Amino acid sequence: MTRFLIRRLLATLLVMLGVSFVVFMIIHLVPGDPVRVMLGLQADQAKVEEIRQLMGFDRPLLVQYVDWLWSALHGDLGQSFITGQSVSEAVIQRLPATLSLAMAALLIALVIALPAGIISAVFPRSLWDYSAMIFSQVGVSIPDFWMGIMFILVFSLALGWLPPSGYTSPSEDFWGWLSHLILPAMTVGLISASIMTRFVRSAMLETLHEDFVRTARAKGLVERVTLLRHVLPNAAIPIVTIVGLQMASLLGGVVIVEIIFAWPGLGRLALDAVIRRDYPMVQGAVLLVALSFAVINLVVDLLYAYLDPRVKY
């Protein structure tokens, strides 16, 4: 187990290094001069050269990358080209909003997907099963931005039940924060639920067809006890994996929903930075989300190896 842990940690570190390199190189492939972007197209050439030397843009790319990486490891992701604000500060400020949206969406997804998937597997080819499958197929096909717009139309503009957009800090106004959170969380959560329902159903069906379940039934165990004591604990292993992977993908998947609902998260920060060509901010936001993604995937892998003794390491 220790060897497996060390191997996975090393692999994740390599991936994180690779991610940081790709993020750095993508931005530096942008045509045009980043200093001119900062100072404006009409800036004096001498001033542009001075700033370029000051910021180190005249050095080889690899040297710039190592320097940037070293600073990033110390928590310094540079400064915004547009506002001059520290990128680390801006990114840390936005992280709680993205995390709260992702967690709320995951909760909604679990509340729907777990019972739907389990009932669907336990009663195959029933109305429940067909409904769950239709929900799953339709949900996966609906664009999240369209669902968000329809929710705003129905619940905010037509019925007036919930605010259409915006954000309130939970420390300032908890109920205000919650009312603003519901629609974006439902938008992301329902789509995530449709994906997870399929996996929960599949995990349950596979476990229901295992020999030990047949043995339990043959021994005379009532169905309820068979399900609770034998099927669910074993089906939980792949389900936990899927939940973990969904959490990781939710971090990046909330980008568009943050735009629609004016939710001040990392995704919106990244997009605003792209539009304004604020490259350090793009780097910082994308890097943080990608690294969180890698860390969550690592935790899921380790959890899976821990929960399932059949996994050989």
Partner 1 sequence: MAETTVTNDLARPQRSRTSEVLRLLRYNRLAMTGVVIIALLIFFTLFGPALSRYDPLAIDMSARLQPPSLEHLFGTDDFGRDVLSRVLSGAAISLKVGLIAVGISLTIGTAAGAISGYYGSLLDEVIMRFMDILFAFPAILLAIAILAALGPGVGNAMIAIGIVYTPIFARITRGSVLTVREQVYIDAARAAGCRDRRIMARHILPNVAAPIIVETTLSLAFAILAEAALSFLGLGTQPPDPSWGRMLSESRAYILDAPWLGIFPGLAIMFTVMGFNFLGDGLRDALDPRLKQVLEPGRRE
The residues binding partner 1 (CB under 8 A) are: 11, 14-16, 18-19, 21-23, 26-27, 29-31, 137-138, 140-143, 145-146, 149-150, 152-153, 157-158, 248-249, 251-253, 255-256, 259-260, 267, 270-271, 273-275, 277, 279, 282, 286, 289-290, 293-294, 297
Q: Measured from the CB of residue 229, what is the shortest distance to partner 1 in angstroms? A: 29
Choice between 46 and 157, CB closer to partner 1? 157
Q: Which is nearer to partner 1, 88 or 136 (CB)?
A: 136
Beta bridge partners of 303: none
CB atoms within 10 A of CB 201: 24
| 298: CB partners within 8 A, 6+ apart | 8, 9, 12
The nearest distance, CB 248 to partner 1, in angstroms, is: 8
Closer residue to partner 1 (CB): 140 or 311? 140
The DSSP letter of residue 76 is -
Closest to partner 1 by CB, 24 vs 167, is 24
Using alpha carbons only, how large is the chain's radius of gyration in Å? Answer: 24
* Spatial CB neighbours of 86, under 8 Å, sequence gap ≥ 6: 76, 77, 78, 79, 80
Contact between 204 and 251 (Cβ < 8 Å): no
When the beta carbons of 66 and 228 are compared against partner 1, the nearer one is 66
Tell me how far, at minimum, the Cβ of 46 lies from partner 1, in Å.
28
- Select 147 or 227, whichever has its Cβ closest to partner 1: 147
CA geometry: angle 232, 238, 243, nearest 5 deg: 100
What sign does the dihedral 148-181-276-15 (CA atoms) show? negative
- 184, two tokens: 């974006």
Q: Is 2 left (phi over 0), alpha (psi -120 to 50) or beta?
A: alpha
DSSP-derived secondary structure for 179-243: HHHHHHHHHHHHHHHHHHHHHHHHHHHHHHTSHHHHHHHHTT--HHHHIIIIIHHHHHHHHHHHH
The number of angstroms, rounded, from the C-alpha of 311 to the middle of its chain's C-alpha atoms is 26
- Residue 35 CA to residue 238 CA, distance in Å, equals 49
Smaller CB separation from partner 1, 125 or 219: 125
Continuous H helices in 219-278: 223-226, 232-253, 255-260, 266-275
Bridge partners (DSSP) of residue 79 are: 86
Complex with partner 1: residue 235 or 254, whichever CB lies closer: 254
